[in-house]
């Protein structure tokens, strides 16, 4: 078989694999404790603004969000907070990242944020770090789309994130404070 034929066969195999719905993004399933440990900031509030922009190296598009902060559960107290998620559209250029979580202006949320190497704060654990707040101040997890959660093995000890569904923000604050106290002085 010629080199051209092998290349054509390889391209055909890639097309078939893509059509088969293989998930391109796999995300380690986090415990509640791991989510806290990975989060530099945990805050509640209302999303007030969003915009897309290139990163400083102009390699990737990020959608930035502004949160009007109601309460900071972990981190420094601020009245507004900016964070970003990979993907977005600028003019004719767009970037889609499977599993990236989105936010809507006006949405009330509790978010767990970790610092990325580029300096941006981003939702920890992809969608695992976003909780919508209902009118009674109770948390409800966001749905993961375009990715698959996988168990990380024996290192995943702790409470399931499903225990947060329906939890009040007051109880969340107590559980986060208890975890921070329990891990104070430990190297993460």
Query: Rounded to two decimals, what is the model's pTM?
Result: 0.81
Mind listing the domains of the chain with CATH numbers?
22-183 (2.40.50)
pLDDT tens string 45-66: 999 999 999 999 999 999 999 9
CA 112/CA 136 separation, integer angstroms:
20
What local confidence, expressed as pLDDT, does residue 7 receive? 38
Q: Which pair of structure tokens corresponds to residue 163?
A: 């225990």
CA 142/CA 131 separation, integer angstroms:
6
pLDDT tens string 132-142: 999 999 999 88
Cβ atoms of residues 14 and 135 within 8 Å: no
CA 51/CA 54 separation, integer angstroms:
10
Low-confidence ranges of the chain (pLDDT < 50): 1-23
What local confidence, expressed as pLDDT, does residue 185 receive? 72
Sign of CA dihedral 129, 170, 159, 179: positive
What local confidence, expressed as pLDDT, does residue 132 receive? 95
What local confidence, expressed as pLDDT, does residue 153 receive? 61
What local confidence, expressed as pLDDT, does residue 158 receive? 77
Give the burial class of 96: count Cβ atoms within 10 A of its Cβ; 0-12 exposed, 13-18 middle, 19 or more buried.
exposed
How many Cβ atoms are within 10 Å of 161's Cβ, its own excluded?
Answer: 20
What local confidence, expressed as pLDDT, does residue 149 receive? 82
Q: For the chain, give the secondary structure using H, E and C.
A: CCHHHHHHHHHHHHHHHHHCCCCCCEEECCEHHHHHHHCCEEEEEEEEEEEEEECCCCCCEEEEEEEEEEEEEECCCCCEEEEEEECEEECCEEECCCCCCCCCCCCEEEEEEEECCCCCEEECCHHHHEEEECCCCEEEECCCCCCEEECCCCCCCCCEHHHHCCCEHHHHHHHHHHHHHHHCCCCC
CA 178/CA 73 separation, integer angstroms:
12
Cβ atoms of residues 11 and 36 within 8 Å: no
What local confidence, expressed as pLDDT, does residue 22 receive? 47
């Amino acid at each position: 078989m010629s080199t051209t034929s092998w290349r054509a066969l390889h391209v055909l195999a890639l097309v078939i694999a893509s059509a088969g719905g293989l998930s391109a993004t796999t995300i380690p399933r986090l415990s509640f404790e791991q989510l806290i440990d990975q989060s530099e900031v945990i805050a509640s509030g209302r999303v007030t603004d969003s915009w897309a922009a290139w990163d400083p190296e102009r390699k990737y598009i990020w959608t930035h969000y502004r949160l009007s902060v109601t309460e900071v559960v972990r981190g420094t107290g601020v009245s507004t907070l900016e964070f970003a998620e990979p993907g977005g559209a600028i003019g004719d250029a767009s970037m889609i990242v499977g599993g990236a979580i989105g936010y809507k202006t006006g949405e009330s949320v509790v978010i767990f944020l970790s610092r990325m190497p580029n300096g941006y704060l981003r939702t920890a654990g992809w969608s695992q770090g976003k909780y919508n707040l209902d009118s009674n101040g109770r948390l409800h997890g966001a749905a993961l789309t375009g990715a698959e959660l996988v168990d990380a093995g024996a290192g995943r000890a702790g409470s399931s994130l499903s225990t947060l569904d329906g939890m009040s923000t007051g109880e969340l604050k107590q559980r986060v404070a208890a975890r921070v106290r329990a891990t104070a002085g430990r190297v993460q």
